[in-house]
Amino acid sequence: MTQRKYFGTDGIRGTVGNPPITADFVLKLGWAIGRVLQNDSGKNKVLIGKDTRISGYMFESALQAGLSAAGMNVGLLGPMPTPAIAYLTRTFHAQAGIVISASHNPFPDNGIKFFSNEGKKFPDEVELAIEAQIEKPMETVSPEKLGRAERIDDAPGRYIEFCKSTIPYEVDLKGLKIVVDCAHGATYHIAPEVFRELGAEVESIGAQPNGLNINSGYGATHLDALQNAVAYQNADLGIALDGDGDRVIMVDNQGEIVDGDELLFIIAQSRHNEGSLKGQVVGTLMSNLGLEQALETKGISLTRAKVGDRYVLEAMQEKNAILGGESSGHIICLDRTTTGDGIITALQVLTVSRQTGLPLHVLKSGMKKCPQRMINVPITPGIDVTNLPSIQKAVSEAEATLADQGRVLLRPSGTEPLIRVMVEGFDKQQVDTIAQQLADVVKAEIGDNGTK
């Protein structure tokens, strides 16, 4: 595959003000997208949505200007969850949807990601064509061909109705008290309304964005606030979304965290019982062994993809699967929508609870998580120590010790100069010991090979 200069596994992301996350680059990026997508059909329209970061205003304007210069019309959605933009791109028959967001990252970061007219991630060839266009001089179309822009004011209502449509009509949430944590992000004006309109009593937290507080102390990566709120409100459960709304982690009425692996199990078991689960379930290399074993007891196979929702979706399409996800809470229900969606995932879990009459605490008990230990070992960028004979030998010995009662994984981080040493099994003490031993071998080899 051709090496990308700007695109990562999920669009383009970085710290605001540092290339390529600058206003001038995003202006050029908008123009390049417009040039690549423009056709003679007369449907030259692109939707732009964003999360609640203060830098979103700047990048929204830059993208709009670049697209207009290329002759593309623009629909401005304002703050909207990432999955909402995927849905609205389809329903408006737009050429593409653009999301200005850095997901669960803190506010100094931002990024640009894209959906095709089918509400799916851009294919590789389109990303490569955009990168090639960026390298060309920017040329503005003649004045009569400039693109127009309009605000789409009813976008939140459209998406709220879509979310509600993903569960059976007869299912409602009356009698449930729910705390919804919006991470001061893009779901702040969406998620509480979805659950309220379905009949739940909703207390919202993390729903007062100010441009600087997205993902700060709230949301799917900071669960203390939700756990405390569930206890204080004596709620039935809590729902934590991340800054752009594509991830969800839940908290049961005991204050216990229900992560993505457990949510995936609850939905998969329900789909299986009703006969609607097609093919396998897709997880990742980091999915807990307990998920694999719990699914196996139901006669369901788990396929493991590389870490990242892009790879999960690719494996789902390859295996003709309808359900996949990550322990981080990024769950994809292809029988409901085209991408990971935190609100829709939560609704699927709540539907199972209402239909079975079982609380979340009981539903998750069908899966027993195995103890898992991960140790990050810093390395020099570009060095791959996993192929060294001494490390391969240590891994083989660890796997032999665990036999079929555990897993060992050494994985270079995709975002930091680290080797992630992960061990899981049924004996916590054994898992901790083996993980530390492997990490020590990696550290020793780094020294012996002069890589630090």
Tokens of 121: 């991630």
- Please give the distance of CA 109 from its chain centroid, rounded to a whole number: 16
Helix %, strand %, coil % for the chain, to 5? Answer: 40, 20, 40
Give the Cα separation of 320 and 267 in Å (integer): 17
d(CA 234, CA 401): 45
CA triple 439-441-443, angle to 5 deg: 70
DSSP codes of every residue in 50-81 = E-S-THHHHHHHHHHHHHHHTT-EEEEEEE--
CB proximity list for 141: less than 8 A, separation 6 or greater: 69, 70, 71
- Burial label for 330, CB within 10 Å (0-12, 13-18, 19+), is buried
Give 110: exposed, middle or buried? Use CB within 10 Å, 0-12, 13-18, 19+: buried
- Known catalytic residues are 103
What's the rounded Cα separation, in Å, for the pair 366 and 291?
10
Which helix (H) or strand (E) segment holds residue 375: the answer is strand 372-378
**Are 224 and 238 in contact, with CB atoms under 8 Å apart?**
no
Identify the three-state secondary structure at position 108: coil
Distances (CA, A) of 342 to 42, 129, 181, 194, 307: 34, 31, 11, 12, 18
The long-range contacts involving 156-163, CB below 8 angstroms and separated by at least 24 positions, are 156/80, 156/189, 156/190, 156/193, 158/88, 158/91, 159/80, 159/81, 159/84, 159/87, 159/88, 159/190, 160/190, 160/193, 160/194, 160/197, 162/87, 163/190, 163/194, 163/341, 163/343, 163/344, 163/347
